[in-house]
Chains A and B, each alone.
Chain A
Amino acid sequence: MASTDVARQPDNGVRPLSLAGHVGFDSLPDQLVNKSTYQGFCFNILCIGETGIGKSTLMDTLFNTNFENFESSHFEPQVKLRAQTYDLQESNVRLRLTVVNTVGFGDQMNKQESYQPVVDYIDRQFESYLQEELKIKRSLHNYHDSRVHACLYFISPSGHSLKSLDLVTMKKLDSKVNIIPVIAKADTISKSELHKFKIKIMSELVSNGVQIYQFPLDDETVAKVNTTMNGHLPFAVVGSTEEVSVGNKMVKARQYPWGVVQVENENHCDFIKLREMLICVNMEDLREQTHTRHYELYRRCKLEEMGFKDTDPECKPVSLQQTYEAKRQEFLVELQKREDEMRQMFVQRVKEKEAELKEAERELQSRFEQLKRLHADEKAALEEKKRLLDDDQSSFGKRRAAAQLLQAQSLTANGKKDKDRKNSGFM
């Protein structure tokens, strides 16, 4: 856009000016690129698809690396996400790539909540970026951006249409992330079936209002290729890290008894197109869309949910500070109230407990009294018995004494009598 264009309207009092010589700020894009190269780049891909559909293999093929993923089991009770970060380098560009895979997607009997862990993960990344942005002392340029930039949704190659799980999941995600649907294991579909399949998928997406990522058309240099590619969506991909010799070259391919499917052959599958679009042409746009559209939406919703507004009912601009202070006051008042409530409850409980304890003490006391009485009664009874016994004993003793005396008396009387008889007998 030449600055000498007469038709250009000056906006905000800015005049276009022509330069009389070479100033040198045409090096500015280079300076910017150099700085970014120094800092390194970040890219995060989320792969959603059923277990065994080829997510890890495709990632390995895309980035020409072995990401060392192990096979997951089909018996996961819930959908989980596994994120792994890698540092890749090509010429002087350093890329910090994070690949997030779903584990157990589509394996459960009840798939109603399958999308939820994915949505939660994406929101968590937005949240942590938002937290960093709202900090007082923040370091945004050093922050490792973990927000998901692209979401590859792997469609099963059934050849007919999308599954309802696919539709539901994509509908939930389309406002949060850039969705790029791909048809996985595309070597199981014939060319004609594939064409029909693609049309069916796109029409289903449109009729269900799912907004997938459209390659941008505003930059003339890439508009043409992007338009063509938009027409080829969803890409039918085949992934493979094994090499097979075809002709006199070793190419990445899958070998079957009936032939060899070459990954990088555009007649066999759309892998090259995917790599072209995802990495070579639109990586920066994906990042930008994530930041300016999806993240801003999240931020707006989150802040509105927390009660912040830009303008109050009289349409005067309300500063975030004021709202924040008001909310903080509210919060502190709330805290104070809760503290008072808790204190009261505590006092109440203490009283209750005290009453309980007193009651128990009283009970104890009464039982003690009762027992004491019982004991006294028994003692009295025993004493009575003892007295009776003593009486008995003493009367018995007396009687015995009397009997003994009588006996003794009778003995002596008898003796005397005998003696007398004896004595009288002799005469």
Chain B
Amino acid sequence: MRSGQRDKGNQKTSGDYVGIDAILEQMRRKAMKQGFELNIMVVGQSGLGKSTLMNTLFKSKVSRKSVLATAQEKIPKTIEIKSISHDIEEKGVRMKLTVIDTPGFGDQINNENCWQPIMKFINDQYEAYLQEEINIDRKKRIPDSRVHCCIYFIPPTGHCLRPLDVEFMRRLSKVVNIVPVIAKADTLTLEERDFFKKKIREELRANGIDVYPQKEFDEDAEDRMINEKIREMIPFAVVGSDQEYQVNGRRLLGRKTKWGTIEVENIAHCEFAYLRDLLIRTHMQNIKDITSSIHYEMYRVRRLNENNTAVSHANGLPEHHLSAHEM
């Protein structure tokens, strides 16, 4: 059996409709029927407004604190990973949103290795997916619990990144998409904010930290252009709020203070709208794709290779001899 030649180029005679583009509609229908999954992790010290920001992003009480009425709000002694899922729906599009909270991060006196439980959690999700994928009898749709995006909250000191921030982001940017944000940005003036952001970008570059959107995953020139604009703006300086106030005759989400009301969705006040647009309206699919086709694949390669080396060491056989045998 021989395969034939390829006819490149448009061969359609004008006016004759075949219906190939109907596949877009079919895909859309399939996607709507299946629904979507999104897993977001929020990391930052307590008191930085993580829960509020999540609630603001999804315009409902999605954070753990709002859901579980905990009598005490004590800071836990060790880092815990708590996730909570919601089914939300908008205009027929159903989404299972999982918010993963990390109370206790950065709150201890000795914060060395505070990234470890988080790293372990992320890798455990990859592991669960891998195990299901290599099963003989596997589910039609493998439940996706992999962390798609990790929002890292930087306290608004106005100076530069702290060693904890650098260390965490350096390690985790290799396994998950990190979106850094400046929390409680209403404590910074515009000049302080710009200075802070520039400083942070420099430090990220100096430490080789690749945050989302990563330069190396830009697909084409158009992508690069869009992403460059975003890269010039990160980290987003955000303010979160789930309270509505009357401003100029409209009800808006904001924070009311004695000296004025900060409108959350006003881009002159803070960059929440950019963050929301990036995460939800334009790049959500891209975030999920990078997680599944790059971070997960890297984990898989590492995992499958380390099994080979473990066995080879046990048998005293040279590594290259075994790694040549792929299934």
Query: Taking beta carbons and an 8 Å cutoff, which residues of A are in contact with B?
Result: 1-3, 10, 12-38, 41, 62-68, 80-93, 95, 117, 121, 131, 134-138, 140-141, 218-219, 221-222, 275-276, 279-285, 288, 292, 296, 299-300, 303-304, 308-310, 319-321, 324-325, 328-329, 331-332
Q: A83-B4, A86-B6, A137-B301 are in contact. Are A19 and B88 (CB under 8 A)?
A: yes
Assess whether A84 is in contact with B4, with CB atoms less than 8 Å apart.
yes
- In the bound assembly, the distance between CA atoms of A398 and B316 in angstroms comes to 101
Question: Taking the nearest CB of chain B, how far is it from the CB of A10, in angstroms?
Answer: 8
Assess whether A28 is in contact with B11, with CB atoms less than 8 Å apart.
no
Is B116 close to A, CB under 8 A? no
**Most A Cβ at <10 Å: residue of B57, B61, B91, B285:** B285
**Binary per-residue interface labels of chain B (13-53) against chain A in the complex, 1 for a CB within 8 Å, 0 otherwise:** 10011111111101111111100101000000000000000
Q: List 27 A-B contacts (CB under 8 A).
A: A13-B85, A15-B67, A18-B88, A19-B59, A19-B90, A24-B277, A25-B280, A26-B90, A30-B28, A36-B27, A65-B11, A85-B3, A85-B6, A88-B10, A93-B23, A93-B24, A121-B1, A135-B327, A284-B26, A284-B29, A288-B30, A300-B137, A309-B136, A325-B307, A329-B315, A331-B325, A332-B317
Question: Taking the nearest CB of chain A, how far is it from the CB of B182, in angstroms?
Answer: 22
Extra pairs beyond A19-B90, A65-B12 (15, CB < 8 Å)? A17-B60, A20-B59, A23-B57, A30-B28, A41-B23, A83-B3, A86-B11, A88-B20, A136-B301, A276-B19, A281-B26, A284-B26, A304-B136, A319-B131, A320-B136
Is B140 close to A, CB under 8 A? yes
From B2, B92, B285, B297, A32 is in contact (CB under 8 Å) with: B285
- In the bound assembly, the distance between CA atoms of A325 and B12 in angstroms comes to 52
Is B209 close to A, CB under 8 A? no
Chain B contributes a number of interface residues (CB within 8 A of A) equal to: 84
Assess whether B281 is in contact with A24, with CB atoms less than 8 Å apart.
yes
Kindly specify which of B93-101, B107-115, B210-218, B231-239 makes contact with the partner chain. Answer: B93-101
Q: A64-B16, A284-B26 are in contact. Are A23 and B286 (CB under 8 A)?
A: no
Q: A32-B27, A219-B29, A296-B138 are in contact. Are A16 and B92 (CB under 8 A)?
A: no
**Most A Cβ at <10 Å: residue of B85, B90, B280:** B90
- In the bound assembly, the distance between CA atoms of A21 and B90 in angstroms comes to 9
User: Cβ of B280: which chain A residues have Cβ within 8 Å of it?
Assistant: 23-25, 27
Question: Taking the nearest CB of chain A, how far is it from the CB of B177, in angstroms?
Answer: 15
Question: Taking the nearest CB of chain B, how far is it from the CB of A85, in angstroms?
Answer: 5
Assess whether B20 is in contact with A93, with CB atoms less than 8 Å apart.
yes
Question: Taking the nearest CB of chain A, how far is it from the CB of B227, in angstroms?
Answer: 15
From B95, B96, B137, B327, A324 is in contact (CB under 8 Å) with: B327
Assess whether A320 is in contact with B134, with CB atoms less than 8 Å apart.
yes
- In the bound assembly, the distance between CA atoms of A137 and B18 in angstroms comes to 38
From B7, B22, B60, B84, A20 is in contact (CB under 8 Å) with: B60
Assess whether A64 is in contact with B18, with CB atoms less than 8 Å apart.
yes
- In the bound assembly, the distance between CA atoms of A28 and B91 in angstroms comes to 11
Assess whether A32 is in contact with B31, with CB atoms less than 8 Å apart.
yes
Question: Taking the nearest CB of chain B, how far is it from the CB of A64, in angstroms?
Answer: 4
From B7, B24, B61, B286, A86 is in contact (CB under 8 Å) with: B7
Assess whether A28 is in contact with B36, with CB atoms less than 8 Å apart.
yes
User: Cβ of B3: which chain A residues have Cβ within 8 Å of it?
Assistant: 83-85
Is B5 close to A, CB under 8 A? yes
Is B284 close to A, CB under 8 A? yes
Is B322 close to A, CB under 8 A? yes
Is B62 close to A, CB under 8 A? yes
Question: Taking the nearest CB of chain B, how far is it from the CB of A8, in angstroms?
Answer: 8
From B1, B59, B311, A23 is in contact (CB under 8 Å) with: B59
Assess whether B23 is in contact with A284, with CB atoms less than 8 Å apart.
yes
Q: A25-B280, A308-B136, A310-B137 are in contact. Are A279 and B19 (CB under 8 A)?
A: yes
User: Cβ of B24: which chain A residues have Cβ within 8 Å of it?
Assistant: 33, 36-37, 93
User: Cβ of A319: which chain B residues have Cβ within 8 Å of it?
Assistant: 131, 134
Is B8 close to A, CB under 8 A? yes
User: Cβ of B88: which chain A residues have Cβ within 8 Å of it?
Assistant: 3, 16-19, 23, 25
> Which residue of chain A is the closest to B141 with respect to CB atoms?
A292
> Which residue of chain B is the closest to A327 with respect to CB atoms?
B327
The 3 closest A-B pairs by CB, nearest first: A84-B4, A31-B285, A284-B26
**Most A Cβ at <10 Å: residue of B2, B59, B138, B325:** B59
- In the bound assembly, the distance between CA atoms of A67 and B4 in angstroms comes to 11
Q: A12-B85, A35-B285 are in contact. Are A89 and B12 (CB under 8 A)?
A: yes
> Which residue of chain B is the closest to A18 with respect to CB atoms?
B60
Question: Taking the nearest CB of chain A, how far is it from the CB of B24, in angstroms?
Answer: 5
User: Cβ of B195: which chain A residues have Cβ within 8 Å of it?
Assistant: none
Assess whether B327 is in contact with A19, with CB atoms less than 8 Å apart.
no
Assess whether B27 is in contact with A14, with CB atoms less than 8 Å apart.
no
* Cβ < 8 Å to A, chain B residues 182-202: none
Assess whether A89 is in contact with B93, with CB atoms less than 8 Å apart.
no
User: Cβ of A84: which chain B residues have Cβ within 8 Å of it?
Assistant: 3-5
Question: Taking the nearest CB of chain B, how far is it from the CB of A220, in angstroms?
Answer: 10
* Cβ < 8 Å to A, chain B residues 51-90: 57-62, 67, 84-90
From A131, A219, A283, B33 is in contact (CB under 8 Å) with: A219
> Which residue of chain B is the closest to A21 with respect to CB atoms?
B59
> Which residue of chain A is the closest to B11 with respect to CB atoms?
A65
From A32, A136, A283, B23 is in contact (CB under 8 Å) with: A283
Q: A16-B87, A19-B60, A88-B12 are in contact. Are A320 and B284 (CB under 8 A)?
A: no
Is B305 close to A, CB under 8 A? yes
Is B221 close to A, CB under 8 A? no
Question: Taking the nearest CB of chain A, how far is it from the CB of B273, in angstroms?
Answer: 10
Assess whether B93 is in contact with A25, with CB atoms less than 8 Å apart.
yes
- In the bound assembly, the distance between CA atoms of A17 and B99 in angstroms comes to 13
Assess whether A87 is in contact with B2, with CB atoms less than 8 Å apart.
no
- In the bound assembly, the distance between CA atoms of A121 and B10 in angstroms comes to 29
Is B319 close to A, CB under 8 A? no
> Which residue of chain A is the closest to B317 with respect to CB atoms?
A332
Assess whether B94 is in contact with A1, with CB atoms less than 8 Å apart.
yes
User: Cβ of A36: which chain B residues have Cβ within 8 Å of it?
Assistant: 24, 27
- In the bound assembly, the distance between CA atoms of A84 and B317 in angstroms comes to 46
User: Cβ of B95: which chain A residues have Cβ within 8 Å of it?
Assistant: 25, 28
Is B282 close to A, CB under 8 A? yes
Is B268 close to A, CB under 8 A? no
- In the bound assembly, the distance between CA atoms of A276 and B20 in angstroms comes to 10
- In the bound assembly, the distance between CA atoms of A89 and B13 in angstroms comes to 11
Assess whether B59 is in contact with A26, with CB atoms less than 8 Å apart.
no
Question: Taking the nearest CB of chain B, how far is it from the CB of A94, in angstroms?
Answer: 9
Assess whether A279 is in contact with B20, with CB atoms less than 8 Å apart.
yes
Assess whether A28 is in contact with B93, with CB atoms less than 8 Å apart.
yes
